[in-house]
Structure 1
Amino acid sequence: MATNTPSEGTEDQVKTSELKALGFIVVVLFPLLAVGFVGFYGLCVFLYNTFGGMPGHN
């Protein structure tokens, strides 16, 4: 069946694009989200301490 030959080329292109997308997600997106989340949490704690005062010791 010679009709499978063109679809194999497109399957390779799909696999390549999926691997590129996975690489982008793992190498770029997840680290940026992690840094952004930690930075946002630190900002929230800083603002809480600034306007709410430091937590006291009983």
Structure 2
Amino acid sequence: MANNVPTEPSESKAKRKELTTIGFIIVVLFPLLFAGIFGIYGFCIWMYNMFSSVHS
């Protein structure tokens, strides 16, 4: 029968590091990345409208 409990401390540390890394990616990196992407997209649209639209 397979035992899923980590037997060595290195396995536990590796698992904790993996979960910390995934948490960082989900909580910090993805929101910053998407905010930057949408900010750049909005800026590009704003600049396009500034230079291409007809002003009266």
Coordinate RMSD, CA, aligned: 1.4
Report how far residue 23 of structure 1 moved.
Answer: 0.4
- Please give the TM-score of this superposition, normalised by the length of structure 1: 0.76
Report how far residue 9 of structure 1 moved.
Answer: 0.8
**Structure 2 residue aligned with 1:48:** 48
Structure 1: 5+ residue runs without aligned partners?
1-6
Map Cα deviations across residues 2-46 of structure 1 (whole Å, 9 max, x no partner). xxxxx7111111000000000000000000111111111000000
> Which protein is bigger by CA-based radius of gyration?
1
Q: Identity across aligned pairs (percent)?
A: 48
Aligned length in residues: 48
